[in-house]
A and B are shown apart, each in its own frame.
Chain A
Amino acid sequence: MTGVTEHTQPNVIEMTGVHKRYLLKHALQGIDLRIKQGTIVGLLGPNGSGKSTLLKMLAGLIYPSSGLIRVNGREPDVRNKAHIAYLPEIDHLYNWMTVKETLSFIASFYRDWEADKAAQMLDAMNLDPKQKVRNLSKGMRARLKLIAALARNVPLVLLDEPFSGIDPSSRSAIIRLIIREFRTDEQTIVLSTHSVKDSEPMLDDVIFLRDGRVHIHDTAENLRMEYGCSLENLWEKVYA
């Protein structure tokens, strides 16, 4: 049975005693985490709970103040970035480029870029390649950002709030695309979100962060059984 593979899959992410201290804030306060290959993991938590910090750290963009991080057995840094696709929460697109130019520009940075796939995704997401980024709606920009992350053939995809503040139809299109492009056995997707209700059906595992610590980490299925409710309702209990 191939379903068992998810249990025997290696850890793609290992964090041990990870802290991040900023001048005025202790953003991560001792994170211990193992994430298995081949899963879609939801990183949940209110603003300021450390979600973005954690994702940036996995992407190798910031370094821990103390503790150990391994992504595919290696410390995340600029070189390791070649194996990680990261969708930042901020809007990193240039307004003066067209959709097509944006993708060619991003493609030029990565050897694992799959142009055919990017073109297919543009089509599926109803994005016009000739459209200027400046003229895209918020939802359409979010779709374009997602394509930029998913057109890469990498073992780890990190998505920071991929559907925050966008319309329901874009949200639904984005979820469909993530599911379609997810390479079940060899890839891992970690995404942070506030939209528990929308993302719940797509998640294998869930991490609830609270004040820079892992409050709960389990499979979505186990949590629903243990607490007798959906993740959405569990969220209310955890953060009430």
Chain B
Amino acid sequence: MQLNFDSPKPIYQQMVDEVKKALARGELSPGDKIPSHKERAQMSQVNPNTVQRAYQEMEREGLTETLRGQGTFIRNDPALLQNIRTEMAQAAIRQFIEEMRELGIAPDETERLLRGQLYKEEG
């Protein structure tokens, strides 16, 4: 796991995103057991309170569920993968739009450039 301490994104959020990316890439699947937050803290040498916060966030977002006495699991929900992919795609698009805006490129031009690029890559 690559954590970036120079990033403005909080560490616990980076840890949540890592799990989402692992799911999107198929390295993790719904129903998989993941390490306890204590184990995760040791493995990544990250502050246990920070890891706990990441785990709480994943649970809050419905990404994981904790079964008493059994551990933490990726929620076994078929819609989960699709939701995560959509969510991450939208986040990437928002960032792209933001960067275009910062470059002073108007929406219609952004759209034209994007289409051109997509078309070029397909062709």
A interface residues (Cβ-Cβ under 8 A, vs B): 1-3, 6, 38-40, 172, 175-176, 179-180, 182, 184, 200-204, 220-221, 224-225, 228-233
Chain A interface, DSSP helix/strand/loop, else mixed: helix
Can you sample 6 A-B contacts with CB below 8 Å?
Answer: A2-B52, A3-B52, A179-B42, A204-B47, A204-B49, A229-B6
Report whether A176 and B8 are in contact in the complex, using a CB–CB cutoff of 8 Å.
no
Distance in angstroms from B37 CB to nearest chain A CB is 9
Indicate which residue in A38, A180, A225, A229 contacts B10 across the interface (CB closer than 8 Å): A225
Report whether B44 and A233 are in contact in the complex, using a CB–CB cutoff of 8 Å.
no
Closest 7 CB pairs of A and B: A230-B5, A230-B6, A201-B46, A3-B53, A180-B42, A202-B47, A184-B48
B interface residues (Cβ-Cβ under 8 A, vs A): 3, 5-6, 8, 10-11, 38, 41-42, 44-50, 52-53, 56
Q: What residue of chain B has the Cβ atom nearest to residue A178's Cβ?
A: B45
Distance in angstroms from A178 CB to nearest chain B CB is 9
Distance in angstroms from B78 CB to nearest chain A CB is 28
> Contacts of B8 on A, CB cut-off 8 Å?
224-225, 228
Indicate which residue in B10, B46, B49 contacts A3 across the interface (CB closer than 8 Å): B49
Q: How far is the CA of A79 from the CA of B111 in the complex (A)?
A: 72
Report whether B45 and A175 are in contact in the complex, using a CB–CB cutoff of 8 Å.
yes
- Given the known A-B contacts A176-B42, A224-B5, are A203 and B47 also in contact in the complex, defined by CB atoms under 8 Å? yes
Q: What residue of chain A has the Cβ atom nearest to residue B55's Cβ?
A: A3
